[in-house]
Structure 1
Amino acid sequence: MPSSNITIAPLTPSSSPLYAAVRHESFKQTLNYILYAREPSQASLDQVAENVAKDIETKPNYFYFLAKDSEGNACAGAKWQFNGTGKDGMEVGERSWEEVERELTVPEGYKESDPRVWKAFFNMLNGAKREILGQRPYLILQTLVTHPNHERKGAGSALLRWGLEQADAKGVETYLEASQIGAPLYARYGFQPVKDLVFDLRDFGYDGPEDKMRQVFTLMIRSPQGKVGSPA
């Protein structure tokens, strides 16, 4: 359970910079090595916030949340996405391949991104979704981030539970790409590993610590269940 000092609320466009800041701090030692070839500029961090704000305003199947402490500090954030059928992608039912491919695009990178790395990484993730999920509708946890100064306060679990309750209500699977640090948490909430993907920056000529250059992502699925309880 989250600390009584933690509150969870839908993210608003005006609060998107807070979400972007938490994401950046959370990814510093892991995913940022893939997303950026060098330290991102403030302009790139602003671009993250602008993209999030645009999602909130234009994509009804995207759901962003922000956790704050009693002093109003942003602690954690989550991005959920429902991939269904229909005009807004919100209907439960088998998707056409056109609908599937519409969600499997490579997003625009940042000024500091290496285009080779960026394209290869997102093509790897998209290929796995195509292979594993096919035309089935599902809810995906695109992002779950906690600021390093606010870990182990239950904010991440609270953000996770929101999506699981939605998936159970719709009777659809939940999918995610877990870091090796995050995988045990997801397993406690009923996620099962499907396969591991390995992305090695040394394949693109980079050099550095093993845990930064070679990152493993465990693809996990959770079948719809009854009421979401405490983790096992």
Structure 2
Amino acid sequence: MAVIVKEVTTEAEFGAVVDCLWESYNDPYTPFMNILFPVFAATEEGYAASVAESKTRLWSIHTGDPSSHWIYVTDDSGKVLSGGHWNFHEVSPYINGVPKLEAVWHPAGEGRAFASHILNEVYGFRGKRMWRPHAQLDMMFTYPEQRRKGYGSLLMKWGMDIAEKMGVEVLVEASDQGVHLYKKFGFRTIEKLAIDTLTDNPSNTWRRFESDLRGLTFWWMWKPHGGIYEAGKTELPWVTKPKTQ
């Protein structure tokens, strides 16, 4: 059965793609889910409520952001097999500085403060480097039973082809599981991003969230337009950033 990559154009398509995201990131469980998509009640109803909230929130963000492109792999049946989210920035969202984020999908309090701290740490790292037009792979996921069939490569090629036509550099914050695939597409690791959760006098709530993320690291991977990064040879644009920027 032939498979193709399609871009999401309807809210119904989007809901099916987000269902795939949840199944993928919960098998095995990805700790960052608790930051982006917390489940507040350990029941089937609580899980369903969190899935529904995530669909509403992500769809609202997507429809208000022209750089946002959700895509998925499907077959003749129309079933979502794998999915991903790309951003293609003709103008960097960080050109005037890095915006402060607040995780308002968490209730006000220590949980929201912790999630906001983590998000601002990740986005702050990114924003100090990506002040030029660029492309970014934000998420990629596959149903557990559909893995190791080459769907990740299809999603990567879709985005990399657009980035090449735009003439822009590309970045991804990779987990250990994704590094090998991204290397195949010319990405190289620039830095290891370890999440800093230290704070003075942490509450029990903070410690609980901190425990969930303990040991979590990302690999900040980058590909310059038209080539592959070579340490000591390839210019890193954020190091030679003009003083006027």
Q: Fold match, TM over 0.5?
A: yes
TM-score, normalised relative to structure 2: 0.74
The residue aligned with 1:129 is 126
2:164 and 2:3 map into 1 onto residues whose CA distance is: 24
Deviation at 1:110, TM superposition (A): 4.5
Deviation at 1:170, TM superposition (A): 1.0
1:16 and 1:194 map into 2 onto residues whose CA distance is: 32
1:157 and 1:50 map into 2 onto residues whose CA distance is: 28
Residue from 8, 21, 24 that aligns with 1:23: 21
Are the aligned partners of 1:201 and 1:214 in contact in 2 as well (CA < 8 Å)? no
After superposition, residues 69-218 of structure 1 pair within 5 angstroms as: 69-85=75-91, 97-98=95-96, 100-101=97-98, 105-106=101-102, 108-110=104-106, 114-133=111-130, 135-199=131-195, 204-206=206-208, 213-218=214-219
Are the aligned partners of 1:202 and 1:213 in contact in 2 as well (CA < 8 Å)? no
1:5 and 1:224 map into 2 onto residues whose CA distance is: 31
Deviation at 1:96, TM superposition (A): 7.3
Residue from 42, 63, 66 that aligns with 2:48: 42
Q: Deviations over 1:143-188 (max 9, x none)?
A: 1111111101111111111111111111110111100111111011
Structure number with greater Rg is 2
Q: 2:177 aligns to what SS in structure 1?
A: coil
Note if 1:64 corresponds to 2:66: no
Deviation at 1:34, TM superposition (A): 3.9
Distance 1:19 1:201, change over 3 A: farther
TM-score, normalised relative to structure 1: 0.78
Task: In structure 2, list runs of 5 or more residues that go unmatched.
Answer: 200-205, 228-245
Output the amino acid matched with 1:116.
Answer: A
Distance 1:128 1:76, change over 3 A: same
The residue aligned with 1:6 is 3
1:109 and 1:221 map into 2 onto residues whose CA distance is: 30
Are the aligned partners of 1:141 and 1:175 in contact in 2 as well (CA < 8 Å)? yes
The residue aligned with 1:230 is none
Q: 2:128 aligns to what SS in structure 1?
A: helix
Deviation at 1:123, TM superposition (A): 0.8
Deviation at 1:209, TM superposition (A): 8.6
Q: Which has the higher contact order (CA 8 A, sep 6+)?
A: 1
The residue aligned with 1:224 is 225
Deviation at 1:71, TM superposition (A): 3.3
Aligned-pair identity (%): 22
Output the amino acid matched with 1:121.
Answer: I
Distance 1:181 1:154, change over 3 A: same
Deviation at 1:208, TM superposition (A): 9.9
1:224 and 1:84 map into 2 onto residues whose CA distance is: 14
CA-atom RMSD in angstroms: 3.0
Distance 1:177 1:209, change over 3 A: same
